[in-house]
Chains A and B, each alone.
Chain A
């Protein structure tokens, strides 16, 4: 199947700093990318959907000014957690969808720990 990478795989930062997470589709063009958040032993909660070249669509309750999403190309989307706080600590996973509308390929995830 298609390959999606995420970087970094884990990050520890101080409260108040910003963290950028990259999601790349390595061997296909991702017209849509999704960002999920997953707390321990819980399900995947969709944060936002991003289409290349347009603004992201955020799910209810997700602060767009805190979680900045940029989908500048068909192979790259970034999620920036601004002014991170300990409650933002979580596992962030992206997924990408290409030509076949219903296939989503997940990245390996990024574990964010905010001290």
Chain B
């Protein structure tokens, strides 16, 4: 089955700097990759996703890149703000088969003022 790894497990950046979180997956059939943000004690919220027919997607300060050959994808947050502090999870799944998401272990991002 699918296995998703995520690095780093914790990340601290100064406000205004960029943050990058990387994930790798094992199943070459996976073709949908969402990223979720979870604040303490709250539900995960989808922040951006990418499908395998696209190499990059951007939404304001957030971008995701995908390298299908290497089977890795990354989340990029620019101009970080304190409210970006949270745990971020990547996930992988197979579109059109309705399969569940396999989540990475998470990255705890701290944005220092």
The residue on A at minimum CB distance from B49 is A102
Taking CB atoms, residues of chain B closer than 8 Å to A25 are none
CA distance in complex: A97, B49 (Å): 15
Contact indicator per residue, chain B 93-113, by CB within 8 Å of chain A (1) or not (0) = 101101011111110100000
CA distance in complex: A106, B103 (Å): 14
Q: In the complex, how many residue pairs between chain A and chain B have their CB atoms under 8 Å apart?
A: 46
| B interface bracket (residues with beta carbon within 8 Å of A) | 20 to 34
For residue A38, give the distance in angstroms from its CB to the closest CB of chain B. Answer: 9
Residue contact A42 to B45, C-beta cutoff 8 Å: no
List CB contacts (< 8 Å) of A19-41 with chain B.
32, 34, 41
| A interface bracket (residues with beta carbon within 8 Å of B) | 20 to 34
CA distance in complex: A79, B41 (Å): 20
CA distance in complex: A65, B103 (Å): 25
Residue contact B98 to A101, C-beta cutoff 8 Å: yes
Question: CB of A8 within 8 A of chain B?
Answer: no
CA distance in complex: A111, B40 (Å): 12
Given known contacts A43-B89, A43-B104, A109 and B95 CB-to-CB distance under 8 angstroms: no
The residue on B at minimum CB distance from A49 is B100
Taking CB atoms, residues of chain A closer than 8 Å to B42 are 108-109
- Besides A43-B103, A43-B105, A46-B101, 11 other A-B contacts (C-beta < 8 A): A34-B100, A41-B108, A43-B104, A45-B103, A93-B43, A97-B98, A101-B95, A102-B34, A102-B93, A103-B46, A106-B36
Can you give 18 contacting A-B residue pairs, CB < 8 Å?
A43-B89, A43-B105, A45-B103, A46-B100, A46-B101, A46-B102, A93-B43, A101-B95, A101-B96, A102-B32, A102-B49, A103-B46, A104-B46, A104-B101, A106-B45, A108-B43, A109-B41, A111-B41
